[in-house]
Structure 1
């Protein structure tokens, strides 16, 4: 077994526990410990990424219990990809919080690190029950983070978020219970074997459990009609929290990729491709709703929140079709949109702090301080989000469009995505021109200066869209290999036969 697999979980766990006992310590000490912990998480994630490059699966079985028994962590290309993407995002969001966003709640850094722990458990776990545990860990932390900053403006969106996710958790437990009652296992590799053997009345029970599970993942991913809680919740969260939440919907997308390609994939007999015929049209409708919402947004943070919903639909459409090229394109686009949306949340917060009472509302106001710097950041992020050349969003969307074979699906996806990208361009152009250039005479009283941490964090996340373009070849090569590995189910099943006692793998 390789103990490195536990590092992205144990590091935030230990860091979060230390933060919990340091609530009354000087804030600079808490900040130093928090950033150090996040840097260590990123370092451990990069180690896992380098290990996954050879295409082998690596496993860690707690207590040396042979799979399918006990708690199992599994590292492959997809898990490494998600952990690194999250760690990079978390580092810059955490740096941004040093500008003052972490004040007002002594346990902000505790919750932030515990949420990272939950995310990393979700990406590395090898069984459904511990995926449920991961969801609960990250959701409990996210409840506290969503309320961070106080004020009644966060209470109602936060309540909606909590209630819907509690319902989702209950449905998750019911669905895994139904599946376990038939198969006798929740280990994903073992499930992939046993689902093929289900017959008779039990087939319908597993099918019902699988469809309920898809509903839960759809709620986490914010697919229509389970997405209306997201724009208000994300728009009202503080900037570093909203930036970190950019990856939360991707957990639902990841769960669909992991479970429905492995357990209910092509090899699952009568249960093969369960729910995928529903997923494609829902992805298109979700995308369309996101474009309409973006057009109607009256402030920058709501505009970016609707972009999250757009990205979910854009991701799930090629995933539902299930081709290797489509999966690879979706992963490329996921990397681009996650970092871009997170950067735009940070930029929107900086803009709000420079416009006095106008905040980030899309209305005219006196010229802001640092207008050139902020307008450039917004423009670059908007171009990437809308999918215009030459930035990473354009590359991701081109890969998605090219991955769809000729037919009805191609006509629908091309039509919705191209028309929607045009509407996104209109929405971002309208917002940018009004906020940055259609100013009115007047003077803002002593707007705060941009601080180093906030400027660096926002600028770095936006600059990553340029880095993705520069590294598009290697990244696409990696996502191609990841898609091929995801569709090669036999390799994943080998972990059931992997010795766990006294042997390095």
Structure 2
């Protein structure tokens, strides 16, 4: 094993080290601690890009922690899917961290930077692990960090929403452990590759129990993805927390989606008998309701943060609706849309933060106000971000929705899928047009311009960077869609994953 082969652990080691160093430095040299935290995000992004380039050869690489090969030891697995998610999380983390430092949002509490880094550690670990128990562990790491981040800046509303958020996720974690206990009792392993093989070999009498365990597991992932009826925690949590934190949380629902894409074809695929495709009967109906409820919330939202939270919910419903077909084409389209939805959702929160800072006492309320500093620039950013979030041309959201429509043209539920995607797009247009016109283009009756609390243009940097990433996704939509198609084919070639992880040479 060469030194470069150890790069696979970098997305986990870098935030872990950065969190510890930032915690030690912050008390005496706050600016240095913030700079080190931002540098850690950049280093993690560079490592993720290097791993993405490495994974482009279509090989599946396995790193055995401590030299103990699977299924006896803990393994990290790098393939196209995990590499793409690492780049997305690292890019988002870098943009959000830059915004927190520029706007001094990180100074609302002492432990923002360590918690932020541990959040990235949990995300990256969840994307890399090849073991279900360690998926649970990394889920807990990112959740514990998110508890602290959610309360960053304090406030009664934030505390109330935080308590509900913690309780819901504790229940989800308990269900996760029950599912893991059932699966381990049935198969004697928690390695995902090994578990898929053993479930396929279960006697017919155990098939029903395996199906129950699979349903519990996918219910946990649905909770993380905020799928109806397990969605109630998301709108309140995301609308109550600081926008810079909510921007990072935009990827948390996608962790639940990632877990479904990783686990279902591998552990509950077509060869597993009674346990095959366990989420299929209920995933599509729940996704339809989620999409409708999400974009309906955009239409009825009373604040920019609330509308952004419902947009995240609606986008998750849309991509899960297409993913429910469980075909390589549908999965490829959903992955492309996932990238756009994550970036657009984060950008909505960042623009909302800028608007709140500049509108003074009006905050993010969707009401007409006198002109504020930089209103035209912020309004244009908001317009472009809404176009991406809704899925209108010419940005990548439109391309993603076209790909999803094309991928489901022969699906049995094609009329329902198309009606939901097109109908929610129309609802989103009306909803964002309402909020944009009220805040940026409809002047208040009388009154002088507001004395803005923020006049510097520096706070536009991170929202512009997020929008720039969306523009790049649009420009390079062809290569990215080719990548997601190859990723989907690799995901559904479960035998390749199993062979790579369980090979006697894996990780040596």
Which of 260, 265, 273 is the equivalent residue of 1:261?
265
Which of 154, 158, 162 is the equivalent residue of 1:154?
158
Please, what is the CA RMSD of the aligned residues?
Answer: 1.2
1:407 Cα deviation from its structure 2 partner: 5.2
Which of 139, 164, 177 is the equivalent residue of 1:135?
139
Which of 77, 82, 88 is the equivalent residue of 1:85?
88
Q: Using the alignment, how far apart are the partners of 2:449 and 2:137 within structure 1?
A: 48
**CA contact under 8 A between 2:372 and 2:451: conserved in structure 1?**
no
Q: Partner of 1:448 in structure 2?
A: 453
Secondary structure at 1:74's aligned position in 2? strand
For residues 470-492 of structure 1, the C-alpha deviation after alignment (integer angstroms, 9 at most, x for no partner) is 00011001001001101111110
Structure 2 gaps of 5+ residues are none
Q: Using the alignment, how far apart are the partners of 1:325 and 1:80 within structure 2?
A: 19
For the pair 1:305 / 2:340, whether they are aligned, the reply is no
Which of 372, 379, 382 is the equivalent residue of 1:375?
379
Q: Partner of 1:482 in structure 2?
A: 487
Q: Using the alignment, how far apart are the partners of 2:43 and 2:504 within structure 1?
A: 29
For residues 370-418 of structure 1, the C-alpha deviation after alignment (integer angstroms, 9 at most, x for no partner) is 0110000000001111111111110000000000133541100111111
**CA contact under 8 A between 2:347 and 2:467: conserved in structure 1?**
yes
Change (3 A) 1:321 1:32: same
Which of 493, 502, 506 is the equivalent residue of 1:496?
502
For residues 424-457 of structure 1, the C-alpha deviation after alignment (integer angstroms, 9 at most, x for no partner) is 0000001000001112222355312344552111
Which of 345, 349, 352 is the equivalent residue of 2:353?
349
1:235 Cα deviation from its structure 2 partner: 1.1
Q: Using the alignment, how far apart are the partners of 1:255 and 1:475 within structure 2?
A: 21
Q: Partner of 2:426 in structure 1?
A: 422
For the pair 1:163 / 2:167, whether they are aligned, the reply is yes
For the pair 1:472 / 2:477, whether they are aligned, the reply is yes
Structure 1 gaps of 5+ residues are none
The aligned length equals 502
**CA contact under 8 A between 1:95 and 1:453: conserved in structure 2?**
no
Change (3 A) 1:138 1:407: closer
Which of 17, 22, 26 is the equivalent residue of 2:20?
17
For the pair 1:272 / 2:276, whether they are aligned, the reply is yes
Q: Using the alignment, how far apart are the partners of 2:314 and 2:381 within structure 1?
A: 21
**CA contact under 8 A between 1:384 and 1:465: conserved in structure 2?**
yes
Q: Using the alignment, how far apart are the partners of 1:445 and 1:310 within structure 2?
A: 33
Q: Using the alignment, how far apart are the partners of 2:58 and 2:178 within structure 1?
A: 35
Q: Using the alignment, how far apart are the partners of 2:31 and 2:163 within structure 1?
A: 32
Change (3 A) 1:500 1:214: closer
1:41 Cα deviation from its structure 2 partner: 0.4
Secondary structure at 1:59's aligned position in 2? strand
Q: Partner of 1:282 in structure 2?
A: 286
1:15 Cα deviation from its structure 2 partner: 0.5
Which of 101, 108, 130 is the equivalent residue of 2:105?
101
Secondary structure at 2:368's aligned position in 1? coil
For residues 343-392 of structure 1, the C-alpha deviation after alignment (integer angstroms, 9 at most, x for no partner) is 11000111111112111111111111101100000000011111111111
1:336 Cα deviation from its structure 2 partner: 0.6
Q: Using the alignment, how far apart are the partners of 2:473 and 2:204 within structure 1?
A: 49
